[in-house]
Structure formats: C-alpha cells, structure tokens
Amino acid sequence: MDTQSIRYFIALAQNLQFTKTAQQFYTSQQNLSQHISKLENFYGTPLFYRKPKLALTPAGEVLYESFVKIVNEADNVKLKINDVLQNNIGSMTIGASPYRGQFWIPRVLPAFMKKWPNVSLKIKMQNSSLMEKDIINGDMDFFIGIRTSDDSVLKVIPLMKDRVYLVVTRNLLNSFFGNNAEAIIRQCEFGTTLEPFRDFPFLRLTDEFRLRKKVDACFAASDITPHNVLEIENIETMIKLIPGDIGAFFCTGLRIPFLKNVYPNACFFPLMIKDEFIYSSMSIVYHKNHYFPQYSQDFINELKNFFGQFSIDET
C-alpha cells in the first residue's frame, strides 16, 4: 500500500465524486478506481457504497479517520526534517475569512514572501466552518478567523477583539438630522445603539457573514426592522460607495484607521447593545497536532505584530 493510494482515498472520501477527485490529482478515473480497488482488496471489504450514490461504508469511515492521522503525521515528519536541514523550502495552505482577508492579506503577505522566497503559499478564502473542516482533514495549516466548532483538536492563538462600528457620512447625517446632526455626532461618538438611526437606509453584507448576524442582533435589541437599500457580498465594494451617501453601513475596527484617512467626511460610531460594546474576535485556528516549521512560526509572529496595532483598550 503506497501513500498515493491513501491520499486518493482521503480525497475521494471528502469529495464523494470520482470525476472531481481524479481532476484534483490530474489522473484518470480508471487509475483512481484501481487504487481504491487495491485498498478494498487489501482490507478485504468494500470501503464505498457505489449506489444509489457514492458514500463511505462503516469500514471506510474507520479507515478515513486513521488515514487522515497517518497523512498528517507523515507531513509533520517531512516538515521537521526540513527544519533540521534548514532548507527554508516549503509550502503553506492558510485560510482567511473573505471579510477580513481582503484587508490584511495585501498588508502582511509581501514582506513575508520577500523574506521566505522559497516558500509557496495557497490561500483559501471561505467561512470559518469550512476552514475548520480543512484543518481537521489536514488540508490546511491554519486559518485566521473565528473558531465556531467545539472539536477538541482545534486550538486557537488569539489575535484581537475587533469592535463593531456604524459608519455614516456627515452628508447623510445632515440630511436626516438637519441642525441636530452635530449633537447626534457628539452623542454617538463614544458608543451608540441603533435607536437614533431607526429610519436610516443601510448597506448590508449578506446573510452568511458573521458580522451581519451580530448587527442583526443589534437591530433586534432596538426593535428595528432595517431599511436595507443594498445587500452585497464584498465589503471593499461597499466601502467604495461611502462617497455616494447611499446609506450607513457596518464594519469592524480593523478598517477604521484606513477609512478615516481616505474618507474624512465619515463618522465612526462604536456599536452597542444597551451599555455593552459589540465585538468580533479573531484568532489563528490550527490542529493541535500540527507541526509549525520555522517559516510558519515567523508568519504567525508577523500576524501577531500586525493585528497588535489594532488592539483595544477596554478599560
């Protein structure tokens, strides 16, 4: 039994599609099928149900869990040997949430890649629950986001607690509050519920974003049905709409220093439910048994330094 058969089996168990798995490894479906048949012959039992659709048998499920551990350990050994030889050659697969990844990746990656020119990177931008599955399956080294699972194999390195803000232009404030706009700004600059903005138009991220869910809780706490004039999946596009005075929107504190420089006409109000600020935490999430070579440790330190600039004094 060779390691290629093991990797074929793991991928097929995850994809449950011969065509997709064969394409993933740039091989033919016939070759893939032969590898799976060899494993089934070796263990003396079917590993997949073929009908009505492809699925793991109970034996296949046991083998999958064992093979994932074997491959993860084999990859760890390779990384350790590489560190001993000090080759400074390797690869990383990391994950990032689409919302925050668009911000930190172009600010952190260039310096790292210049320092480690022989390390190749693959970045997946998806939601945390999908990235957690990749971590557990050994398909990702770590991701920057939010741990949502209680699985004990997942460990975290906290990076920051990111405060949530309501962003409104002065033009929009003036159009709704008139002569009272400056008083509203003073009232809300250190924190506000959504009550004063009950009748405002809003630009919103779509439902799958965690930030959307946190803001929905704020609307519910103030018994407000928001007037959403735009829902969009891309935060960068939403930010570029600020000068249009279309509506207020929400973002986390990570972006505020940049936005203040680019859009001096905007106001940034920390969002609250009653007398409590709203936070969105961010961490590095990884498998407890994963070995981090020197270049990975260096990247993690770069992340800590970068996000440390945005730490919040909660006193």
Give percent of the chain with pLDDT exceeding 70: 97
315, pLDDT greater than 50: no
Give the integer Cα–Cα distance in Å for 24 and 10.
12
CATH assignment of the domain containing 64: 1.10.10.10
The H-assigned helical ranges of 16-142 are 18-24, 29-43, 58-85, 98-115, 128-137
pLDDT number for residue 128: 87
Question: Is residue 107 in some structural domain?
Answer: no
Query: What is the mean pLDDT of the segment spanning 147-172?
Result: 91
51, pLDDT greater than 50: yes
pLDDT number for residue 312: 61
What is the overall mean pLDDT for the chain? 90
85, pLDDT greater than 90: no
Last residue of a domain, one of 86, 114, 140: 86
Segments forming the whole domain that contains residue 239: 161-279
Give the integer Cα–Cα distance in Å for 35 and 68.
17
pLDDT number for residue 80: 77
| 280-294 confidence digits (pLDDT tens) | 888 999 999 888 988
> 77-91, 153-167, 176-190, 242-256: which range is least confident on average?
77-91
Q: Predicted confidence band at 309 (pLDDT cuts at 50, 70, 90)? A: confident
Query: What is the mean pLDDT of the segment spanning 117-124?
Result: 93
Last residue of a domain, one of 37, 60, 86: 86
| 176-227 confidence digits (pLDDT tens) | 999 999 999 999 999 999 999 999 999 999 988 889 999 999 999 999 999 9
If one counts the domains in the chain, the total is 2
pLDDT number for residue 291: 87
Cis peptide before 264 (omega within 30 of 0): no
CATH assignment of the domain containing 271: 3.40.190.290
Cβ atoms 88, 119 nearer than 8 A: yes
Residues 168 and 270 placed together within one structural domain of the fold? yes
Element (H or E) spanning 290, and its range? Answer: none
pLDDT number for residue 250: 95
pLDDT number for residue 218: 95
Query: What is the mean pLDDT of the segment spanning 97-114?
Result: 91
Question: Is residue 308 in some structural domain?
Answer: no
